[in-house]
Structures are given as C-alpha cells and as structure tokens.
Amino acid sequence: MSPPIVQGLIVNVGVAPQPGQNPVVVAQNSDAQFLLSFFDENNYPYDVTGASAIEFSVLEADDLTVLSKTLVSGITLVSGYRNQVLVSMVAADFALLANGNNDCQVNLEINGSNYNFNLFASLNVQPSVI
C-alpha cells in the first residue's frame, strides 16, 4: 500500500466551503470542526482504519508546534474506509494561535509506518468580535 497524501482542502464543518478555499478562516473566539480526507497518489480514498496514531498540529512561522490534537484529545476517526478524520477545536484552542495564517500538518501512524504531511490549506485565525 502506497503512502497517503492529504487532500488539499480542509472542510470547516458547518461553514459552506468555497471552491479552492485557502486558508480556512476561523474566528478566534469560536469552536470549530475540520474534516480531513486522505488520498493515495492516484486520488483514491486511502483507508485509515488501521491508524494507531493521528496528530493534527498547528505551527508557528518557525515550525514550532503551538497546538496539537490527537486521537485522545480532539480527533475522531469518522470513517476509516471512507478516509475521514474529524478534528474538533474549542475557543480556548484558538486563543493559543496568532491572528493570521497558521500552517498545519498531520502525522499518521498506520500499520507501524509513520507519515508526516504539511496541509495545503492553513488556518486563518481572525480576531474575536465581541
């Protein structure tokens, strides 16, 4: 089985996605969920059922991790054979992030092999509106 690649678009659940939307925009004082999909090099859904570890990280400009979500802290495997992973974040998570674009990456461990992917879309955190 060839290594998966991460689909370029992260879908912000509850917000109508715009074609080719990059970055994904979120308000700093809100909760949000993101649906990630995984595909092989032929663009076929990559079965992540056997994933023993999934980590979604948001990075600062110097590539240091600011925020991390895992299978035990905010990530749900929605459908392994349909290649869908749900990342849930709360308002307190976004308080850790700088306003503006924040790069994201995903680490997968499937059947003992590790895969590390930078996402094509970034999170754009907007200031809170009171």
Q: Which CATH number covers residue 115?
A: 2.60.40.10
Show the CA angle centred on residue 15, arms to residues 24 and 109, nearest 5°: 55
Burial of 29 (0-12, 13-18, 19+ CB in 10 A): middle
Predicted local confidence at residue 81, as pLDDT = 62
What's the mean pLDDT when you consider all of the chain?
Answer: 74
If you write DSSP's letter for every residue of 5-64 in order, what string do you get? EE-S--EETTSPPPTT--SEEEETTS-EEEEEEEE-TTSPBPP-TTEEEEEEEEE-TTS-
| Domain interval for residue 10 | 5-126
Place of tokens 């802290």: 73
pTM of the full structure: 0.76
pLDDT digits (tens, 9 = 90+) for 66-104: 889 999 998 888 876 667 788 888 888 888 888 888 888
Confidence of residue 22 (pLDDT cuts 50, 70, 90): low
Total number of domains in the chain: 1
